[in-house]
């Protein structure tokens, strides 16, 4: 096949059609071992011409995606069989019912449950772009995850996201939060932050935003992500923010979260996230906040005037559970445009020249709790980094903010599925999606579809017993895969 000028990806597609499952890495290694150099860059037209000339195996078009009832006995093999473990998470928490009752669009061929699961399938296996359908066109396991023969093609994914709206995303997020609250997974303490999602095309509609990852301003979508500081679940996202309304994002979240009677205790955010006036609005709504006050000459003069005997020491537990002794002093102050009342000021000595200044409207909680809660704010920045790296949040292919907002919502849901899986696996509660993916989701296996159950036979690997322990007593039935149960077993060969 290489002699016929076929690329590594084209060779893999043809081998898949012939029932031979070989990874792209293995194909590349074999070609190198046999002395074949990399192919020169070619246009799509040139690549297709070589495909048409190859005579070993006729080119086979991918099937049209449709729902199936899984009534036939069948064996499937793939390197992504581990992704089926997320079906138990979806069913256990009733996320499938939330999707069915959502406002998202559906077609005659693909109901909304199958449609949303198709997006999730690609997110969970860290697919970089919806446009690269040659990577999943013949993947029966990913199709089975969504209750389909195979996943739809790239055009369908683009068309579907174009039909969604911001209101649909908000309604869906609220319903998911209600599920998490029912299972005791929302603490009421939230970290919120901005992130810039770059757009690499040429658009006159997008604004320039600061991107910390690139250390410069880029033409991008400005998005906010909110995380529960207790469970680590993402409970809010918005990719439709403009400069004119960015200061109101936190008030929008407060209104959306509390609209269904959910209790919001604490909001933790950076000093530039909103205005002093909005801090006053939050205080009048009974919402506690912790943020950093920006340094100015007046504040620096006040710090320098604090007597030495007013500085105290306290042992703080950091986010990594290690202790650290810090010196602090505190007072109260009034803020211009805040409204009636004052706020609590806590000065904390750091490695920098001047102390950090925390301000909060909580005047009763001990300093250790306040500092500990604010230190957890860095976890939302780590979560944003995971969204960018693992879920490829920065690889958008559209300049339409609604499509990017839907993609952000799907990324958040995929992230939460990984988080829920981590909570189920003993000893892996703090693992990141990347680690969970490498340890449990990748790896070859065989799926055997039988009368009343589907057996997922996974090749033996080091951490497989941890996964099998979780799935051992899982007898749930899944209506979108023929109302069958899933049984995970190790490969005995």
Task: Detail the DSSP E strand segments found in 172-318.
Answer: 189-198, 207-211, 216-228, 234-241, 266-268, 288-292, 312-317
Rounded CA-CA distance 204/190 in Å is 34
Task: Detail the DSSP E strand segments found in 147-213.
Answer: 189-198, 207-211
CB atoms within 10 A of CB 490: 15
**What pLDDT shows up at residue 379?**
63
Q: What is the DSSP letter of 437?
A: I
**What pLDDT shows up at residue 287?**
93
Q: Strands 216-228 and 453-458, how do they pair?
A: unpaired
Rounded CA-CA distance 444/25 in Å is 14
- SS3 percent helix, strand, coil of the chain, rounded to 5, is 40, 20, 40
pTM above 0.75, yes or no: yes
Rounded CA-CA distance 368/427 in Å is 28
C-alpha count within 13 angstroms, C-beta hemisphere, residue 182: 11
Per-residue pLDDT of the chain (493 residues; tens, 9 = 90+): 888 888 888 888 788 777 787 888 889 899 988 888 888 888 777 777 776 666 544 555 667 888 988 887 778 877 789 999 999 999 999 999 999 999 999 988 899 999 999 999 999 998 867 777 777 777 889 999 999 998 998 889 989 999 999 999 999 999 999 999 999 999 888 999 898 888 887 778 889 988 877 788 888 899 999 999 888 899 999 999 999 999 999 999 999 998 878 888 889 998 889 999 999 999 999 999 999 887 777 888 888 888 888 888 877 766 556 677 888 888 888 888 898 889 999 988 866 567 788 999 999 888 888 887 887 776 667 777 777 777 877 677 678 889 999 999 999 999 999 999 999 998 898 888 999 999 999 888 889 998 888 999 998 888 889 988 888 877 899 999 999 999 999 987 6
Cβ neighbours of residue 375 closer than 8 Å, sequence gap 6 or more? 316, 318, 319
Rounded CA-CA distance 444/431 in Å is 22
Question: What's the pLDDT tens digit per position in 325-341?
Answer: 888 888 888 888 898 88
Rounded CA-CA distance 163/268 in Å is 34
Helix or strand or coil: residue 138?
A: coil
Record the tokens describing residue 306, joined without a space.
């604090």
**What pLDDT shows up at residue 57?**
46
Rounded CA-CA distance 421/431 in Å is 10
Among the four given CATH numbers 3.80.10, 3.40.91, 2.60.120, 3.30.420, the one describing domain 188-269+377-432: 3.30.420
- Whether the CA torsion 406, 151, 422, 101 is positive or negative: it is positive
**What pLDDT shows up at residue 480?**
94
Q: Strands 266-268 and 189-198, how do they pair?
A: parallel
- Where in the chain do CATH 3.30.420 domains reside? 188-269+377-432
Largest CA distance in the chain: 87
**What pLDDT shows up at residue 318?**
60
**What pLDDT shows up at residue 16?**
76
CB atoms within 10 A of CB 427: 9
Rounded CA-CA distance 425/230 in Å is 17
């Amino acid at each position: 096949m290489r002699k016929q000028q076929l690329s590594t990806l084209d060779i893999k597609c043809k081998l898949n059609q012939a029932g031979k499952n070989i990874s792209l890495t293995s194909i590349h290694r074999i070609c190198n071992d046999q002395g074949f150099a990399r192919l020169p860059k070619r246009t799509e037209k040139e690549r297709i011409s070589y495909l048409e000339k190859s005579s070993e195996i006729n080119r086979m078009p991918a099937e049209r995606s449709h729902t199936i009832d899984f009534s036939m006995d069948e064996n499937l093999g793939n390197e992504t069989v581990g992704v089926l473990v997320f079906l138990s998470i979806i069913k256990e928490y009733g996320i499938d019912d939330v999707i069915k009752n959502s406002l998202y669009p559906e077609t005659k061929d693909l109901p909304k449950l199958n449609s949303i699961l198709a997006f999730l399938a690609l997110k969970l296996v860290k697919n970089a772009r919806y446009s690269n359908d040659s990577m999943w066109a013949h993947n029966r396991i990913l199709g089975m995850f969504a209750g389909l023969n195979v996943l739809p093609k790239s055009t369908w994914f683009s068309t579907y996201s174009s039909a969604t709206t911001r209101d649909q995303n908000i309604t869906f997020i609220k319903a998911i939060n209600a599920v998490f609250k029912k299972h005791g997974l929302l603490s009421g303490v939230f970290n919120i932050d901005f992130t810039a999602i770059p757009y690499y095309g040429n658009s006159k509609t997008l604004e320039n935003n600061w991107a910390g990852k690139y250390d410069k301003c880029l033409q991008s979508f400005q998005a906010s992500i909110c995380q529960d500081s207790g469970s680590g679940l993402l409970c809010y996202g918005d990719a439709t923010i403009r400069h004119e309304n960015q200061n109101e994002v936190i008030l929008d979240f407060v209104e959306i979260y509390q609209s269904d009677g959910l209790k919001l205790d604490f909001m933790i955010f950076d000093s530039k996230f909103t205005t002093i006036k909005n801090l006053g609005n939050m205080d009048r709504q009974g919402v506690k906040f912790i943020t950093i006050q920006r340094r100015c000459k007046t504040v620096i003069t006040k710090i320098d005037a604090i007597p030495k005997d007013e500085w105290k020491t306290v042992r703080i537990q950091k986010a990594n559970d290690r202790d650290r002794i810090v010196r602090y002093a505190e007072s109260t102050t009034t803020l211009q445009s805040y409204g009636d009342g004052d706020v609590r000021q806590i000065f904390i000595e750091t490695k920098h020249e001047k102390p950090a200044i925390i301000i909060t409207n909580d005047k009763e909680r001990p300093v250790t709790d306040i500092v500990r809660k604010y230190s957890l704010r860095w976890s939302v920045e780590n979560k944003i980094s995971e969204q960018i790296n693992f879920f490829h949040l920065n690889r958008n292919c559209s300049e339409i903010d609604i499509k990017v907002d839907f993609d952000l919502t799907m990324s958040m849901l995929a992230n939460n599925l990984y988080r829920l899986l981590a909570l189920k696996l003993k000893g892996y509660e703090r693992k990141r999606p990347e680690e969970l993916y490498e340890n449990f989701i990748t790896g070859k296996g065989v799926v055997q579809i039988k009368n009343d159950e589907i057996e997922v036979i996974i090749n033996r690997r080091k951490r497989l017993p941890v996964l099998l322990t979780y799935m051992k007593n899982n007898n749930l039935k899944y209506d979108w895969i023929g109302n069958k149960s899933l049984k995970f077993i190790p490969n005995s060969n």
